[in-house]
Structure 1
Amino acid sequence: MAAIPLPSSSTLLPHTKLNHPSICPLVVNTPAWTSVSGNRNAHRHFHVLTKAKTSLEPDLHAKDSVAPETVNDENDFGVVNMHHVGILCENLERSLDFYQNILGLKINEARPHDKLPYRGAWLWVGSEMIHLMELPNPDPATGRPEHGGRDRHTCIAIRDVSKLKNILDKAGIPYTLSRSGRPAIFTRDPDTNALEFTQVE
């Protein structure tokens, strides 16, 4: 596979108001782009259609790797899959603008958001979720690695990295591409939380 060149000017800027291991829940996306007005930039968003499965990073794991059925019977407490990832945000509305209007994620209205002592929202990522929590973010906005793959990050599997790249370009959101040459793109949300989008078949 040919290496994907890194953009020379992809710097991560905290002012754009703009964390998972290699095995990640998947998102199957079929772009249905619509313009969202009223923002500083005209954003495009795509709707995420999904069915969850597992993606293994090819540069870290053999492509045909299979998770063992059980480690051993005594320690098998029934792991099923990743249920959700919690992401802290300073301002819920600002984060929802990014996750809904740029990434096209939909809110899971069935999840409780008024029974916790802080504001938040649950967003569908395939059959799993991201839980946005409006709490003081302990991670600094400056001094973070430029490449999100060298930072704590949440990985979402998608069908077409090039289409997401175009969406981020149109919205003026900085990103870096995978340094291993595989089809993957890294960006940050408004609180500088790193997000990886890896392409799967």
Structure 2
Amino acid sequence: MAVHLSSSSTLLPSTTKLNHVSICPVSVNIPARKNIIGKVPVNRNRNAHRHFVLTKAKTSLEADLHEKDSVTTDDENDFGVVNLHHVGILCENLERSLDFYQNLLGLKINEARPHDKLPYRGAWLWVGSEMIHLMELPNPDPPTGRPEHGGRDRHTCIAIRDVSKLKTILDKAGIPYTLSRSGRPALFTRDPDTNALEFTQI
């Protein structure tokens, strides 16, 4: 259904400057707010209980005051963070690590990523739309003396749907893990090179 607004001047005083106008469906029984400036029934002929409410985000003066109260960003230094692209994980033996990440955890290799153009062996594994980059390089971290609970160590967190199923997989493989100390559905384990991994249920 399309809603046509001919002009904001028909709804607002000519002295009011709009920075943003939005239309959203709301229930008739919702109490009116201060920023509601008009109601347009969806269909007058069908006893509909939904209306489109035209809301004014801020006048220019209100917007200026709001900007002073909020955290400001320096556009000059905003280099455009988008998301996490990949996490690099060091391993001593690529085949052993691939057996863990690919065969046990079920991660798929991203064949499109270059693995033969680098001066060391490695592999790129999909984790949703991001990746883990396994790199066969000497690890500066000691393999022993790490915290028992991976949440107290440097770790990579992977979101999953079912922690209980992963627990079954790790139990069957004889891989130790610890549960989240907060009681949320999450566990911590380590890969063959003692890199800490968190799996949190979403």
**SS of equivalent residue, structure 1 residue 87:** strand
Contact 1:86 1:131 (C-alpha < 8 Å) held by counterparts: yes
In structure 2, what is the Cα distance between the partners aligned to 1:70 and 1:121? 40
Distance (whole Å) between structure 2 residues aligned to residue 186 and residue 92 of structure 1: 22
Note the aligned Cα RMSD (angstroms). 1.5
Task: Report which of the two has the higher share of strand.
Answer: 2
| Cα distance change, pair 77–171 in 1 and its aligned pair in 2 (3 A) | same
Pairing of 1:115-130 with structure 2 (within 5 A): 115-130=117-132
Return the letter of the residue paired with 2:184: R
Whether the 8 Å contact between 1:70 and 1:76 is mirrored in structure 2 is no
User: Structure 1 residue runs of 4+, over 2 Å off?
Assistant: 68-72
After TM superposition, give the deviation of residue 76 of structure 1 in Å: 1.1
What is the alpha-carbon distance in structure 1 between the residues aligned to residue 141 and residue 125 of structure 2? Answer: 22
Q: Per the alignment, do residues 76 and 86 of structure 1 end up closer, same or farther by CA in structure 2, a change over 3 Å counting? A: same
Equivalents in 2 of 1:108, 1:143: separation in Å? 33
Pair 1:186 & 2:188 matched = yes
Residue 44 of structure 1 corresponds to which residue in structure 2? none
**CA offset digits 1:70-123 (Å, max 9, x no partner):** 833222111000000000000000000000111000000000000000000000
TM-score (norm 2): 0.64
The structure where helix makes up a greater share of residues is: 2
Pick the structure with greater CA Rg. Answer: 2
* Seq. identity, %: 92
Deviations 1:45-74 (A, max 9, x none): xxxxxxxxxxxxxxxxxxxxxxx9983322
Residue 168 of structure 1 and its aligned partner are, at CA, apart by 0.3
Query: Is residue 162 of structure 1 aligned with residue 164 of structure 2?
Result: yes
2:175: which partner in 1? 173
Structure with more relative contact order (C-alpha pairs < 8 Å, separation 6 or more) = 1
| Equivalent pairs, count | 133
User: Equivalent of 2:81, from 79, 82, 87?
Assistant: 79
Match status 1:88 vs 2:90: yes
CA distance, structure 1, for counterparts of residue 195 and residue 161 of structure 2:
22
Residue of structure 1 equivalent to 2:55: none
Gaps of 5+ in 2: 1-69
Would the aligned equivalents of 1:86 and 1:133 in 2 still touch at CA under 8 Å?
yes
* Structure 1 residues 1-201: aligned runs within 5 Å: 71-200=73-202
Question: In the alignment, what sits opposite 1:57?
Answer: none
Letter in 2 for 1:110: A
TM-score (norm 1): 0.64
Structure 1 position 146, deviation (Å): 0.1
CA distance in 1, matches of 2:153, 2:161: 23
